[in-house]
């Protein structure tokens, strides 16, 4: 069972998250931010992850803390569930269309954190979707990368509608990470010439 449960309790947020990598898309998610919850449900459904998440935070101030901290906790859980990374495919890529939008995610569970956010500033700057500040998506993905210790390249090829852009990015992220985390019976040990993906 490649799974993990992580808790985070600070003065700003309280979060409990359980993740099963080899799931079926079952989910029970409550973040206080309906659109953010919707994106995480899409992540679980399209990545075929079983995900339980309960998050509470100072959303009356701003959504920043809870979005970033959920990214941290999900990154921690993902790294723990991957373990030593023996037998994984390591790399994953997915390009997702959504109406007028085309978004791409490419991931490498390399053990090195690097986010390449290739989304033109004007695509999301100052835009809100269902009470969610669209610019917070970057904070979520940066937090995930920092804790999961992976390379993640997110690129918006084109798109006009902020809802479509965010949803396409999250779905591409789900499929790319799922493919990269998949166990390949042909892989013996760690898929790296240096023999480790954790140092």
pTM across the whole model: 0.96
Residue 77 to residue 74: CA distance in whole angstroms: 5
pLDDT mean values, one per 10 residues, the chain (199 residues): 96 97 98 98 98 96 96 98 96 98 97 97 95 97 98 98 98 98 92 82
Residue 50: its pLDDT value, please?
A: 98
Would you list the DSSP string of 3-15? EEEEEEE-SSEEE
Provide the pLDDT for residue 170.
Answer: 98
CA distances for 6 relative to 17, 30, 69, 164, angstroms: 5, 15, 12, 30
Q: For residue 84, what pLDDT is reported?
A: 94
pLDDT of the residue at 88: 96
Please report the pLDDT score of residue 181 as a whole number: 98
Catalogue all structural domains in the chain, each as residue range(s) with its CATH number. 3-181 (3.30.230.40)
DSSP state of 30: E
pLDDT given at position 191:
87
């Amino acid at each position: 069972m490649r799974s993990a449960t992580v808790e985070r309790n600070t003065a700003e947020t309280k979060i409990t998250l359980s993740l099963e990598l080899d799931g079926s898309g079952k989910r029970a998610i409550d973040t206080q931010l309906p659109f953010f919850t919707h994106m995480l449900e899409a992540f679980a459904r399209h990545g075929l992850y079983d995900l339980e998440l309960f998050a509470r935070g100072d959303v009356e101030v701003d959504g920043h803390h809870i979005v970033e901290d959920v990214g941290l906790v999900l990154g921690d859980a993902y790294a723990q569930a991957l373990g030593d990374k023996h037998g994984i495919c390591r790399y994953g890529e997915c390009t997702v269309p959504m109406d007028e939008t085309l978004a791409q995610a490419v991931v490498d569970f390399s053990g090195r954190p690097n986010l390449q956010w290739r989304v033109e500033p004007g695509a999301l700057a100052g835009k809100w979707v269902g009470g969610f500040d669209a610019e917070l998506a970057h904070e979520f993905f940066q937090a995930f990368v920092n804790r999961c210790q992976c390379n993640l390249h997110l690129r918006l090829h084109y798109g006009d509608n902020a809802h479509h852009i965010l949803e396409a990015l999250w779905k591409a992220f789900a499929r790319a990470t799922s493919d990269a985390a998949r166990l390949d019976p042909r892989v013996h040990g760690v898929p790296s010439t240096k023999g480790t993906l954790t140092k």
